Chain A
Amino acid sequence: AKKMIGLKAKLYHKQRHAEKIQMKKTIKMHEKRNTKEKNDEKTPKGAVPAYLLDREGQTRAKVLSNMIKQKRKEKAGKWEVPVPKVRAQGETEVLKVIRTGKRKKKAWKRMVTKVCFVGDGFTRKPPKYERFIRPMGLRFKKAHVTHPELKATFCLPILGVKKNPSSPLYTQLGVITKGTVIEVNVSELGLVTQGGKVIWGKYAQVTNNPENDGCINAVLLV
């Protein structure tokens, strides 16, 4: 054991703590291996002697509950998404007021403070008339998209913003916040439909706050 002070000590202790937890777990597992325990899940509600135990009933119950879950899903709707509930972003948070005019009195311009997406052929309106400013530093073209089943992450180009849950204004502007559904170019994955056509666009939902992390992380909606 080393004697340390300050920040290094904190880091070191954190490491040791994690190691200790792991060690304790493995030791406990080893100990458990040799003993026999009562498994509460295996005993049914009505106390039945061991030779009358019906194990199949248990498994069946599991199957039943799975079926119930599936039915519920179908009732809810087609689009169930990985991030269902998202905090709504107010206008003051997303749009910053820009004062213009000789005496800085006019306040009709707004600047977007969150990450946004503008298309390929985007050209600004004449600066005198543009009401919403989307700064170049906050424009992103690529997103890190995770395939939920493959558990692999790809860096795919964004095609467009499908829906922003906070407001249709944001959807139109292309503002990307947590929970936004975006369309990404998946030709890299090489997916093919039943008919033999190549899929090259799919929806993904953003799972992080891009303005805090500097990158867009999304989960593919399969």
Chain B
Amino acid sequence: MALYNFKKITVVPSAKDFIDLTLSKTQRKTPTVIHKHYQIHRIRHFYMRKVKYTQQNYHDRLTQILTDFPKLDDIHPFYADLMNVLYDKDHYKLALGQINIAKNLIDNVAKDYVRLMKYGDSLYRCKQLKRAALGRMCTIIKRQKQSLEYLEQVRQHLSRLPTIDPNTRTLLLCGYPNVGKSSFINKVTRADVEVQPYAFTTKSLFVGHMDYKYLRWQVVDTPGILDHPLEDRNTIEMQAITALAHLRAAVLYVMDVSEQCGHSLEEQVELFRNIKPLFANKPLIIVANKCDVKRIAELPEESQKIFESFEAEGFSVIETSTLTEEGVIQVKTEACDRLLAHRVDTKMKGNKVNEVLNRLHLAMPTKRDNKERLPFIPEGAVARKKRMEVDTPRRKLERDLEVEMGDDYVLDLQKYWDLMNASEKYDKIPEIWEGHNILDYIDPDIMRKLEELEKEEELREAAGEYDSEPESEDEEMMEIRQLAKQIREKKKLKILQSKEKDTRGPRMPRTAKKANIYLTVFLQVQRKVLEKEMTELGLDMTNKDDAHYVRRSRSVTRKRKRDESETPKSVARSRSSSRPPRDVSGLRDEKMVKKVKTMAKKAQKKMNRLGRKGEADRHIFDLKPKHLLAGKRKSGKTQRR
């Protein structure tokens, strides 16, 4: 089902705008800088890109236009006919055909010039070719000026057409101009169609929507039709005829009984007879409008006979007056009912129903005894239904109560509880936690007791009971307190000192201090400083040779047993408290040091000879050397190369 949303068609630009748009887009979106000395393939690519980009843009835009505009063969025949009436089918198809041709021409131009550009051997030549290609494409578009203008106008008009759904329930109003069709639709729906005393006020179709029996109905208002043969009809009348011909709707033929529209009753009847073929298979109602001016009963005999003949033929005639709204509802209900019945009939006769009917089966229970079992409708439902029709006042709501009581209002939901014993509604419910009733643990006097306690405490505080006593501490505590105070002070001083310390020079790691001989002396001195400070503070620092901060020589710590070595003589004895350098660490004596050195050198020889970066470097610079793999012995299995 094609979309009836004609509002989504892209804007069709005018020829001049189209050209400007595309060319400026090409200029903005493709690279702009190129020089003579660039390589020729780069120059070619640059200009080819521009040609292709322009072609792509034109192609895309034109394709979008072609796809957005509805194809007259794909949409509902009502819309196809309407568009034919309004825009002329041939012109429309031609315009779109021209656009299609233009698109193909542009593609061909681009193809040709891109092919030619491959032979361009200078910047000037490529540039001229690009200029010629773009110029040609723009000329093609310039030639389509008329088609583009026409399509833009069609698009604008199309987007303003009323959205009439041809498949849903519709009521169609038709008749002479000025008989009251637009007034009718204004009364029945929310549409606001212009109503004026001159003929052809309504120049196109209008749609209004209304509700009936919980369904949505469309009411279509048409321009008036005059009585002349089909060929003589103008565009406005043809729209009405199209609607009559294609929409499966209930037709309301509106007649002006009072002949205020300017046409006599006989003319109206004549028109009716002429367009009767269009009413085939549609429920028809004849609406005798403007009955407030003249009723049918007041008409002369011949006119009354006309209406009687209508009745005889089976068309119901209803008198209405859009001014006094008499009969309007009646027309609506009758038309809707008849249309619904008609639609149901059509569906029953159609093919789709059979598929469903075969599968539908209404099961009736078999009677097992003679007892009558009627359907049960609760009283409340019946009463409600009755009330809906009569509109009795409803029961009093909480809101009403609230409004009444104002500030005193308290929401009391307990009154709605449905208990066996109505007097228990306002009883207190016990609160239980972990098997205990909370109420048991509440002291009724607790608030009073709390107050008394607080008063007592205040008195005590005022009396000074909670002030701390200085004499309660013994000697030990006093000492400890004093020491702690001293330590705190010293700590603060030290922090200040370290902040002021001037850290110039590189910060050596901790181990470096040990390797440095001057540093070791300094650190030894530091031990003395430390001990002195601590004694100042009052600590006993006499037997502190085993303390952790004392630097020990190696002989004190090591105790390992080794064979085939000289007497234990540490190589770094000269500096007993320093750390040995890395190349002699872990070695006992000179002999071992020498051996280790030669081993290291030997291991390095192969690596250096092969020019390797390290042990793990296995890179081969020349995997397939030519002198080995060329010549007579090049391929195949050869054990020696």
A120-144 interface with B by 8 A CB criterion: 135, 137-138
- Please tell me if the beta carbons of A137 and B121 are within 8 angstroms of each other in the complex: no
**Residues of A137-195 contacting chain B, CB below 8 A:** 137-138
Q: Which of chain A's residues have a CB closer than 8 A to the CB of B119?
A: 113, 135, 137-138, 211
A214-B118 in contact (CB<8A):
no
When distances are taken between beta carbons in the complex, the residues of chain A under 8 Å from B132 are 212-215
**Complex alpha-carbon distance, A96 and B112, angstroms:** 22
Q: Are B115 and A213 in contact (CB under 8 A)?
A: no
- B116: contacting residue among A11, A96, A137, A209, CB under 8 A: A137
Q: Which residues of A contact B133 (CB under 8 A)?
A: 214
Are B116 and A214 neighbours in the complex by a CB distance under 8 Å? yes
Contact assessment for A7 and B128 in the assembled complex, using a CB-CB cutoff below 8 Å: no
A8 at the interface (CB under 8 A from B): yes
B115 near A212: Cβ-Cβ < 8 Å: no
Cβ–Cβ < 8 Å partners of B125 in chain A: 211-212
Chain A residues, Cβ within 8 Å of B46: none
Chain B residues near A8: list those with CB within 8 A: 24
Give the size of the chain A interface in residues (CB under 8 angstroms): 14
Partner of B24, one of A7, A137, A212, A215: A7
User: Contacts of B129 on A, CB cut-off 8 Å?
Assistant: 212-214
Given known A-B contacts A7-B24, A7-B27, A8-B24, A212 and B128 have beta carbons under 8 A apart = yes
Tell which of B27, B118, B124 touches A137, judged by Cβ atoms closer than 8 Å: B118
Determine the residue in chain B with the shortest Cβ distance to A96. Answer: B121
Number of interface residues of B (CB under 8 A): 16
Cα(A106)–Cα(B133), bound, Å: 37
- B133: nearest residue on chain A (CB-CB)? A214
Q: Is the interface of B mostly helix, strand, loop or mixed?
A: helix
- Mostly, the A contact residues are helix
Q: A40 CA to B27 CA in the complex, in Å?
A: 52
Query: How many angstroms from the CA of A100 to the CA of B412 in the assembled complex?
Result: 107
What residues of A have a CB within 8 angstroms of the CB of B118 in the complex?
Answer: 137
Contacts of B124 in A (CB 8 A): 212
Name the residue in A7, A213, A214 with the highest tally of chain B Cβ atoms < 10 Å from its Cβ: A214
Q: How close is A182's CB to chain B, nearest CB, in angstroms?
A: 19
Interface residues of B in 107-147 (CB under 8 A from A): 112-113, 115-116, 118-119, 121, 124-125, 128-129, 132-133
Q: Nearest chain-A residue to B120 (Cβ)?
A: A211
**Most interface-central of B20, B115, B116, B133 (chain A CB within 10 A):** B116
Interface string of A196-222 (1 = CB under 8 A from B): 000000000000010111110000000
In the bound complex, CA of A27 to CA of B129 (Å): 40
Q: Which of B3-28 contact A (CB under 8 A)?
A: 20, 24, 27
CB pair A138–B116 under 8 Å, yes or no, is yes
User: Which residue on chain A has the smallest CB distance to residue B124?
Assistant: A212
Q: Which residues of A contact B24 (CB under 8 A)?
A: 7-8
Tell me whether A113 and B121 are in contact in the complex, defined as CB-CB below 8 angstroms, given that A8-B24, A137-B115 are known contacts: yes
14 contacts between A and B (CB under 8 A): A7-B24, A8-B24, A11-B20, A96-B121, A113-B119, A113-B121, A137-B116, A209-B128, A211-B116, A211-B119, A211-B125, A212-B125, A212-B128, A213-B128
5 extra interface residue pairs, beta carbon distance < 8 Å, beyond A11-B20, A137-B118, A212-B128: A113-B119, A212-B125, A213-B128, A214-B132, A215-B132
